Structure 1
Amino acid sequence: MPYRDNDPISNIPLNSAPFGYSPEALQRESLYAELSSAGVELGTYDHRIVEWIAGWDYPTVATIASLIRRAARTPK
């Protein structure tokens, strides 16, 4: 299944840009949620960059969040 219930972030590789819109606050929340789920510890500069990326266009942010999600579940 490519998406979780009511979750626009893909669980599978993307072959085209995600479609839609999400306000910056929700994009920020999504990025932080994926990083947290992946167990990524963030420093001050990391937070600054997440804040910056959250302001980018939806297709880019959704793709980055999807990459984080998929990387986190990849066996080590």
Structure 2
Amino acid sequence: MTESGIPTGPIDREPLVYPAPGSFPSSERKAAILRETFRAAGVELGAYDERIAAWLAETADWSTFAVITSWVRRATQP
């Protein structure tokens, strides 16, 4: 798991853990995590990409967000 709480390997059960026990990140924090994940993966975003990324950060629960973000991270690992 990354310092942001994103799983780094295959996920077998719902990721309910976030580094700050008892709380989950705000949509602003999730957007920052997602931007950093895309940057690290070398993903260039267009305006519509940005719009959908913001939507995901605002609407997805933590578990869904963590799984999708984990896919991006793991897709770029050797």
TM-score range, shorter chain: 0.7 to 0.9
The answer to whether the Cα contact below 8 Å between 2:4 and 2:33 also exists between their aligned partners in 1 is no
- Looking at structure 2, the residues matched to 22 and 65 of structure 1 have their Cα atoms a distance apart, in angstroms, of 14
Which residue matches 1:47?
Answer: 50
TM-score, normalised by the number of residues in structure 1: 0.86
The correspondence of residues 26-45 of structure 1 with structure 2, limited to 5 A, is 26-45=29-48
> Is the counterpart of residue 11 in structure 1 residue 15 in structure 2?
no
Alignment length (residue pairs): 71
TM-score, normalised by the number of residues in structure 2: 0.84
Unaligned runs of at least 5 residues, structure 2: 18-23
Runs (4+) off by over 2 Å: none
The answer to whether the Cα contact below 8 Å between 2:56 and 2:65 also exists between their aligned partners in 1 is yes
The structural deviation recorded for 1:7 is 2.8
Unaligned runs of at least 5 residues, structure 1: none
Deviations 1:1-57 (A, max 9, x none): xx23x3301110100111042211111111111011000000000000000000111
Of residues 15-24 and 52-61 in structure 1, the stretch that sits farther from structure 2 once superposed is: 15-24
